[in-house]
Structure 1
């Protein structure tokens, strides 16, 4: 796999992700501006989030019933490149095909790319093509996310992508061993409540250790205006 995945997130001191719940800092800093300014330092081809996060991100996107499945005897579909027009990519993992789109472009300017299951029904794919939304397909079995990254590389030439959550999709990438770097902005605030979404939230069994064999090496630490701390860690994949 040659696509580099950087998990880029901003959180409270206790790792929580909902800014509306955070305490107010002594020296306020705009969360979005701080986050995007740091992200601009990476030569990324786009960013990737999960279905729930994307449905909340833009008013032009809604969530509906899952797409149908194609029959076992039907040929598997191929990726589609819609109306990209040279824009950065906004990739969403949506294997059930629940999202509905009215435009191929987000209000922030990025071109939408859906990552779907290989057996997604043709009528849903036709709907995406009509709107101009691009799509690729995840891999099979335990290689679902790895297959998605390979498809993004082959179809769009992606070399670096920012994984921007939520915690569940970040956890899935971590469990699959596909995160190469963590870029974490620690905002000077606290949430404090148990169960609030955090940077990584793999949905596994109590005995599972999704980060096992992936030690972190600090490669950079910066103090930004307002007391925000930017930490960058390389993920090593050689440990047993």
Structure 2
């Protein structure tokens, strides 16, 4: 790309039936070759951000941790929160129901940004702010 405008490249590794990764993927040589090709393309493109849904993030990255929220009512304004960070790359999680149990704001060196809905509890937003995790 020759201009400075942002752009999106969708680099996806999906099953033929479009379902979430499952036991069908296994650890076969074919799957391992596909996974290696996917990671090579990821590196060659120079990806600065990646995005997955809640189910994938929960299964593969947060190990099904549940949010630990402080007791008491904290009223948080429902606006985007951009935490201070030094990252040049980002992990984006789609989590409309506030189910992911974040313990820190970085993952594999990437600053985490979570995409929420306006219906998430204030206590969850307070938790994300406390650990320095950005949300929109």
What's the Cα RMSD here? 3.2
CA–CA separation in structure 2 for the residues paired with 1:5 and 1:49: 14
Deviation at 1:6, TM superposition (A): 2.6
Report the TM-score, using the length of structure 2 for normalisation.
0.70
1:5 is matched with 8
Find the structure with the greater CA-based Rg.
1
Q: Is the 8 A contact 2:67 2:124 kept in 1?
A: no
Counterpart of 1:190 in structure 2 is none
- 1-side partners of 2:41 and 2:22: how far apart? 17
- Mapping of 1:26-37 within 5 angstroms? 29-37=32-40
Q: Write the distance in 2 (CA, Å) between the matches of 1:20 and 1:87.
A: 34
Q: Secondary structure at the match of 2:45?
A: coil
**Structure 2 match to 1:215:** none
Three-state SS of the structure 2 residue aligned to 1:41 is helix
Select the structure with the greater relative contact order (CA < 8 A; seq sep ≥ 6).
1
**2:102 corresponds to:** 101
Q: Is the 8 A contact 1:61 1:102 kept in 2?
A: no
- TM-score, with length taken from structure 1: 0.43
Q: By how many angstroms is 1:123 displaced?
A: 1.6
Q: Could you tell me how far apart the structure 2 residues matched to 1:57 and 1:49 are? A: 10
SS where residue 56 of structure 1 aligns?
helix
- Cα contact 2:49–2:90 (8 A) shared by 1: yes
Mind listing any 5+ residue stretches in structure 1 that lack a counterpart?
66-73, 137-240
For residue 62 of structure 1, report the CA deviation from its aligned partner.
Answer: 1.9
